[in-house]
Every structure is written in C-alpha cells, then in structure tokens.
Amino acid sequence: MAANDKIRLGLIGAGGMGSGDAGYALSLPNVEMTAISDIYSGRLERAKERWGSGLYATRDYRELLARKDVDAVIIATPDHWHSRITIAALEAGKDVYCEKPMVHRVEEGLKVVEAQKRTGRILQIGSQYVSSLVFEKARQLLEQGAIGQLNMVEAWLDRNTALGAWQYSLPTDATPDTVDWDRFLGHAPKRPFEPVRVFRWRNYDDYGTGVAGDLFVHLLSGLHLVTNSLGPTKVYASGGLRFWKDGRDAPDVVLALLEYPKTSTHPEFTMALRVNLASGTAQEQFGFRFVGSGGQMTTTMAGITLNRTPREVAPGNTISTFSKKVQRDFLDRYQKQYPAQRPDADSMRPLSEERYTPPASHNAHLDHHKNFHAAVRSRTPFIEDGVYGFRAAGPALLCNLSLAQDRAFYWDPEKMRIADGAKK
C-alpha cells in the first residue's frame, strides 16, 4: 500500500467501543468505512445513520470478510468472539485491529499468534495505553534511573457507578427477531434468549473476561511498555462478587499479585493490581505507582508525578543498647567512615516533585489508530501485535483462573505458556 492509499475498513461489532474506534479511524486521512457487521439490527441501523445508508451491513461477519472492498477490519465484539473472528479475518487476507483482550481463554492465544505469523497480515490489539505519550515518557524516566532501582509496582482502577460496573442500557426492541441470539452465543453454551446477556455480556464468564480481561489487560499492556517486560512468571489473585449481585458471575473486586523477572532494563519486581467496581470513590481512579530505591513515580493518563528521594549518605546507628565502651569504639569507626559534614547552604536541596503532562492535543486512542494505519500502509506491525497482545492477555486471564481455582499459576513469558512448578 502506498502511504496515501485509501484504507477501506469493515467494522465487526458496532457497540460502544466499535463505534468509538470507527470514529477515531474515520477522523484520520484516507480512510473510509465500507461494511459493517453486528448481530443486533439496531446497531446496523445506527451505523447507517452515522456513516451512510450505502454501507454494506450484515449479521454474519463471514460475509463481510468475503468482500473485496474491505482491506482491514476493526473487531469490537464481546471477548468470546475475538480470537475466532481475528483468525478468520487474517485468513481472509484482512489486516486486523482487534479490541483487547486479544483472547477469551489462555489456550486461544498461541493460535492467534500463529495465524498472524502464517498469514503475514498486520494485527494490532486495541490497548491504547501502548500508544500513550505518558507511558512512553514513564518508560524513559524509569530507564534513566529516575527512581533508582525498580522493585515494586502498584496499579489500580477504581469505579463506583452502575455504568462503570457494566450495567449498560438494554434496548427496548431486543427480541429474537432483532437479535441473532445463536450468532451472539457462537461456541458459548446454548441457552434460551436473554437480552441481558447480549447487552451486558461482560458480566458473564461465557462471553466476557471479568475485570481481569477488561481492565487488568490495560494495566499490564501499559506496564509491559514502561518496564520493557515480556510478562510475569507467577500470578495469584483473590477477590469475589461483593456488591453488584444482579445475576452476574463476574467478581467486582479483584486483587492480584504478579512476580516479574528481570527485564532488559530492570531487575525483578513485584506487581500488585487492584480493580474495585464499588470503590466508594466519587470518580473513576486509575493509576500506577512505580516504586524504586530512589523515589516513586505515579502515572495516570493525565500525566506523571515523580518524587525523587536521594538515598542517605550515612546509614545512622542503633548503638544506645550497647555498652559505653562498644558505643565509643563504634562511633570512632563510624565517624572515620562517615565524616560529619558541616551543613551549609549547598547541602540544602529542594524537595522535588516533578510533573510531566502530555500536550492537550494528545489522544492515545486516536494515536493507536494512527499507528494501525501506518502499519497497514508500511506493512511493518506496530509494537502491540499478537505477541504483545497475548503477553498482556495471558497473565490477565491467569488472574481469573487463579481466582476460580484458588491457587497460584506460573507462566513462561517468553514462550507464552502456563508453566509448572516453582519459579525458575
């Protein structure tokens, strides 16, 4: 494709995020939407209202994939369809922007990675934090030693609203005529028509991936960029359904601990992740705290706050319980090793808190689509390809398995497989 050639897009799954993705994609130059697929006719209608009545529309994504006027697809269906439609699209010769999490189950990951390799098509996963300038800046600061030696990372995403807890609106016309229930279910267990499962699919493990696949994935995608990491070696999660007892089976409070091995730039560190959908906070809160021997760096989408704490020169002492003679000997040696500095004006340092904010015009989500279009035109995949996507999704989904089976899981971040036994 030449740099200015038009990209003809197909959208599969035209709900909240699919429509948002399409909006970003269409705001970029030389892109047009030619086809759309959704199993709910209301969303097909709405897509035509938005993007023109000439749009080809179908309930069957395979018909969209068969079209010659579609170069690339955005896949924004519920999670249980991601790997199947992605593989079918790659095999149909399309480039793919697939929403996160890349897969619904861990065992699907390597199949997607293999399909990307085999077909040579562009595949990008939709965790936009990977295109965020904030995370790139955090990566640079960490690499420059801004907080000394990294040893721990905390990340959290707290919400406290019905919509934040996935209680999305049900359309008034949802019937078996307007919703293709069998096509929604796909390979999921068969059951009678139930609109709440279509429109609030995140709440059910048969279609969604809980807070781990929905939200931990974002945090892990960002973390892996900032720390140049391939992923953790051990995952343990705890939590449960504490507040939103509306028939869902997905927990609303999950805490996870992940052990990360040495990366190309940092020593081993421990990660503590938290999502609480009934957090008691007035507004959604999201962030990372990177903890190092020389300071802390807090990162949100709005920017970075860096607090540096120089390490003490003299370690201090605890000698008062020793005999007077030992105290004298100790102080004698101590004062030779750490001669007292006479404080002067030079020894005063400002208590530093540095802030870095991205330019007001920066939008990571838009840039993520820009990066996809650049990859489609140059045939060079963006960093968040199938391998990157699975290295975030795999450990996130292990949090669900850990919670369900009440045990820790070991993971091989290079081979992207569940590993057995103790840490290597």
Ligand X SMILES: NC(=O)c1ccc[n+]([C@@H]2O[C@H](COP(=O)([O-])OP(=O)(O)OC[C@H]3O[C@@H](n4cnc5c(N)ncnc54)[C@H](O)[C@@H]3O)[C@@H](O)[C@H]2O)c1
Binding site for ligand X (CB under 6 A): 12-18, 37-40, 43, 61, 76-79, 81, 99-100, 126, 128, 183-184, 186, 201, 214
Distances (CA, A) of 90 to 94, 166, 262, 406: 5, 30, 34, 36
CB of 287 to ligand X, least distance (A): 16
Q: How far apart are CA 139 and CA 121, in angstroms?
A: 28
CA 52 vs. chain centroid, Å, equals: 32
CB of 227 to ligand X, least distance (A): 21
Residue closer to ligand X (CB basis): 162 or 408: 162
Q: How far apart are CA 333 and CA 327, in angstroms?
A: 10
Question: Measured at CB, which residue is nearest to ligand X?
Answer: 15
CB of 55 to ligand X, least distance (A): 14
CB of 160 to ligand X, least distance (A): 18
Residue closer to ligand X (CB basis): 116 or 203: 203
CA 352 vs. chain centroid, Å, equals: 30
Which pairs count as long-range contacts for 81-85, CB under 8 Å and 24+ apart, including other chains?
81/13, 81/186, 83/108, 83/109, 83/111, 83/112, 84/186, 84/187, 85/12, 85/61
Q: Is 135 helix (H, G, I), strand (E, B) or coil?
A: helix
CB of 184 to ligand X, least distance (A): 5
Residue closer to ligand X (CB basis): 31 or 76: 76
Amino acid identity of residue 75, one-letter, is I
Structure-block tokens of residue 5:
């050639």
Residue closer to ligand X (CB basis): 85 or 146: 85
Cis peptide before 29 (omega within 30 of 0): no
Q: How far apart are CA 383 and CA 367, in angstroms?
A: 13
CB of 234 to ligand X, least distance (A): 25
CB of 356 to ligand X, least distance (A): 22
Residue closer to ligand X (CB basis): 13 or 381: 13
CB of 419 to ligand X, least distance (A): 27
Residue closer to ligand X (CB basis): 86 or 233: 86
Residue closer to ligand X (CB basis): 61 or 204: 61
Residue closer to ligand X (CB basis): 170 or 326: 170
Phi, psi at 91, each rounded to 5°: -70, -25
Q: What is the DSSP string of 172-187?
A: TT-STTTB-HHHHHTT
Q: Is 241 helix (H, G, I), strand (E, B) or coil?
A: coil
